[in-house]
Structure 1
Amino acid sequence: MSTADAKTLIVLRHAKAGWPDSADDHARPLAERGHAQAPAAGDWLRENGLVPDAIVCSDALRTRQTCVWVCERLGELAPTPYLDPRLYHADAAKALAIVNETEETTRSLLVVGHMPWVQNLGMRLMSLDSDQDAALRMSEHYPTLGMQVFRVEKPWAELDGRDAALTHFVVPGR
Structure 2
Amino acid sequence: MTLRLILTRHAKSSWDDPLMSDHDRPLNKRGRASAQALGRWLDAKGYTPDEALVSSAERTRETWDTIARTAGWSAEADIASALYLSEPDTLLNILRGASGQTVMMIAHNPGCSFMAQSIVDAPPQEHIFDRFPTGATAVVEFGTQGWDDITWRSGRLVDFAVPRELIEAEEDAAVKATAAE
TM-score range, shorter chain: 0.7 to 0.9
Counterpart of 2:8 in structure 1: which amino acid? L
Match of 1:65 among 50, 62, 84: 62
Q: Which of the numbers 146, 149, 169 marks the counterpart of 1:158?
A: 149
Distance 2:149 2:3 in 1: 13
Structure 1, unaligned runs of 5 or more:
none
Q: What are the residue-to-residue correspondences of 1:1-174 with 2, within 5 Å?
A: 5-19=1-15, 20-75=17-72, 77-103=73-99, 106-128=100-122, 132=124, 137-139=128-130, 141-154=131-144, 155-172=146-163, 173-174=166-167
Question: What is the aligned-residue RMSD (CA, Å)?
Answer: 1.5
Q: Name the CA shift for 1:108/1:31 in 2 (closer, same or farther; >3 Å).
A: same
Distance in 2 (alpha carbons) for counterparts of 1:137 and 1:119: 10
Give TM-score scaled by structure 1 length: 0.88
Structure 2, unmatched stretches of 5+, are 168-181
Give the count of matched residue pairs. Answer: 163
In our comparison, the structure showing a higher alpha carbon Rg is 2
Q: Percent identity?
A: 28
Q: Report the TM-score, using the length of structure 2 for normalisation.
A: 0.85
1:137–1:169 CA contact under 8 A, matched in 2: no
